Amino acid sequence: MITIVDYGLGNVGAFANTYKRMDMPVRTARTADELASAERIVLPGVGAFDAAMDLLDASGMRDTLEDLVVDKKIPVVGVCVGMQMLAEGSDEGLRSGLGWIPGRVRHFSHAPANADLPMPHMGWNDVQPIAGETLFKGLETDARFYFLHSFYFEPADPADAVAHTSYGLQFACAVRRGHVHGVQFHPEKSHHFGSNLLKNFAEV
């Protein structure tokens, strides 16, 4: 069963509809009790980093989420700001992240050569996954996904980056450490590419 964490941010309905179209069992969780029996977790997110962390805390689900992911090793995928929340912190705000994948979220202008890039990075872009990465099975070549963001994840260990995209600089658009996955793009808006990736996650 895929469980989508509905803490007030992200395209929860779009994720649910994608899984329903593939005839895969899915539900949303708005309380700790609803989340407790999750077997696979989607953590969506849009907007600002600190606001997302505040809403997750206010939802009452954070402790249960931590228990499932950290202690019980339940697979999770963070999407967009949900991916950024996996980091230790963000240049966008003051709050600490979940810290499940060491690293920090940077603004594109962090690299001086990118100061004049149009913001946000918006639209379709090519993605180059690392060979053999399970989440990208069937997406090894010619994969394109929809992006909408001004910040990117900079993992402390480059080995945690499992796919890259270029926008002024090459950056990690997908990360993984063990059972913890994150993607910066929006699979729920990325047509068959996104459906394939979400199906792969369900089968991890």
Which residues belong to the active site?
Answer: 80, 186, 188
Q: In this structure, are residues 22 and 34 in contact, taking their beta carbons and an 8 Å threshold? A: no
How far is residue 58's CA from residue 124's CA, in Å, rounded to a whole number? 33
How far is residue 128's CA from residue 137's CA, in Å, rounded to a whole number? 12
| Residue labelled with tokens 């070549």 | 141
| Distances, alpha carbon 193 to alpha carbons 5, 30, 84, in Å | 22, 28, 21
Q: In this structure, are residues 204 and 134 in contact, taking their beta carbons and an 8 Å threshold? A: yes
In terms of Cα–Cα distance, which of 64, 55, 157 is closest to 102? 157
Is beta strand 2-5 parallel, antiparallel or unpaired with respect to 40-43? parallel
Instruction: Record the tokens describing residue 127, joined without a space.
Output: 């993605």
Instruction: Record the tokens describing residue 161, joined without a space.
Output: 């980056």
How far is residue 168's CA from residue 187's CA, in Å, rounded to a whole number? 22
